[in-house]
């Protein structure tokens, strides 16, 4: 029924109505105009238009939108499940949230072609940069990760985003994270956004290594061990 069925999770977004503030952020950001209103003015997902990109989930400020197998909590649990070395072990921990459409397969192919990248990196696939809820980034930093890199498709006029505006909307959201970092007394460069195409197989490892070198030039995150 969906215009772009995904392997693995064929569910549509749902909203926990009791938590919804009716702010309409999800409706405004949906790249496919797939969110209508029910008679009580709550979001109503039009399943024939929805392409399951998750942009509504990333946009919701109170985090009440989820899919059966993809939610703020499922990715949040993956982020928390990664072991973060303590401040005395001199090992950084870097999180990469990689778009599953281009960036993640490019990383996969880089590995198959034996291109190595920094061993302190841990990669979690995401549906689209548009689905990134900024709580993942603040939770990761609060949990002691030294840096967070986000990988998504090119946006703008020559966009390569599989969901048209997903990566652009995600990047707009990310542009606000700098203030959060300053509030946490962290260097703003600790969060980096990288445009990745599926053809970047050979160059991607070096970009990761450059970013890892930058992170290693900073002191360990002061949030380790909390
Ligand atoms: S933002 Fe994406 S997942 Fe959400 S309703 Fe629109 S098309 Fe569906
Ligand atoms: S963004 Fe979240 S809180 Fe706002 S209307 Fe949509 S579901 Fe409700």
SS3 string of 3-39? CCCCCCCCCCCEECHHHCCCCCHHHHHCCCCCEEECC
Is residue 33 situated within a structural domain? yes
* Same domain for 45 and 83: no
pLDDT tens digits, one per residue of 177-190: 999 999 999 999 99
Chosen domain end from 25, 43, 66: 66
pLDDT tens digits, one per residue of 70-92: 999 999 999 999 988 887 777 89
Is residue 2 pLDDT above 80, yes or no? no
pLDDT of residue 5: 46
Asked whether 165 lines ligand 1 (CB < 6 A), one says no
Is residue 48 situated within a structural domain? yes
Give the ligand 2 atom nearest the CA of 19. 3
Chosen domain end from 66, 82, 108: 66
* Same domain for 123 and 56: no
Q: CA nearest 170: which of 55, 69, 43?
A: 55
Provide the residue range defining the domain that includes 109.
Answer: 72-216
Kind and range of the H or E element at 214?
A: helix 204-216
Alpha helices per DSSP H over 61-186: 72-81, 103-112, 134-142, 166-174, 177-183
* Same domain for 113 and 172: yes
Question: Mean pLDDT over residues 39-68, rounded?
Answer: 95
Asked whether 15 lines ligand 2 (CB < 6 A), one says yes
Give the ligand 2 atom nearest the CA of 63. 2
Domain count, the chain: 2
* 217 CB burial (10 A radius; 0-12, 13-18, 19+): exposed
* Same domain for 136 and 103: yes
Please indicate whether residue 81 or residue 163 has the higher confidence score (pLDDT). Answer: 81
* Same domain for 80 and 58: no
ipTM tops the 0.95 cut: yes
Q: Whose CA is nearest to atom 7 of ligand 2?
A: 20
CATH number at residue 141: 3.40.50
* Same domain for 129 and 95: yes
* Same domain for 58 and 76: no
Give the model's confidence band at 6: pLDDT under 50 very low, under 70 low, under 90 confident, else very high.
low
* pLDDT, the chain, mean: 90
* Same domain for 138 and 54: no
pLDDT tens digits, one per residue of 112-149: 999 999 999 999 999 999 999 999 999 999 999 999 99
Is residue 87 situated within a structural domain? yes
Is residue 6 situated within a structural domain? no
Is residue 223 situated within a structural domain? no
* Same domain for 208 and 101: yes
Asked whether 155 lines ligand 1 (CB < 6 A), one says no
* Same domain for 195 and 139: yes
Chosen domain end from 49, 66, 83: 66
Give the ligand 2 atom nearest the CA of 56. 1
* Same domain for 94 and 18: no
pLDDT of residue 174: 87
Is residue 158 pLDDT above 80, yes or no? no
* Same domain for 110 and 32: no
CATH number at residue 42: 3.30.70.20
Least confident of 58-72, 138-152, 212-226: 212-226
């Amino acid at each position: 029924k969906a215009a772009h069925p995904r392997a693995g999770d064929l569910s549509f977004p749902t909203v926990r109505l009791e938590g919804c503030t009716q702010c309409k952020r999800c409706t405004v950001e949906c790249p496919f105009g797939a969110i209508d209103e029910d008679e009580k003015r709550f979001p109503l997902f039009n399943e024939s238009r929805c392409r399951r990109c998750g942009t509504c989930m990333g946009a919701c400020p109170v985090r009440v939108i989820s899919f059966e197998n993809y939610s703020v909590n499922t990715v949040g649990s993956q982020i928390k499940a990664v072991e973060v070395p303590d401040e005395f072990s001199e090992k950084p921990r870097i999180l990469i949230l990689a778009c599953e459409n281009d960036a993640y397969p490019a990383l996969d192919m880089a590995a198959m072609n034996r291109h190595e990248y920094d061993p302190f990196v841990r990669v979690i696939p995401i549906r689209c940069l548009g689905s990134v809820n900024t709580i993942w980034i603040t939770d990761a930093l609060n949990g002691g990760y030294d840096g967070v890199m986000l990988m998504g498709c090119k946006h703008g006029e020559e966009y390569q985003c599989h969901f048209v505006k997903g990566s652009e909307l995600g990047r707009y959201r990310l542009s606000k994270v700098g203030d959060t970092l300053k509030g946490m007394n962290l260097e703003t460069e600790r969060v980096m956004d990288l445009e990745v195409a599926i053809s970047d197989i050979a160059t991607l490892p070096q970009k990761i290594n450059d970013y890892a070198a930058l992170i290693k030039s900073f002191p360990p995150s002061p949030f380790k061990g909390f």
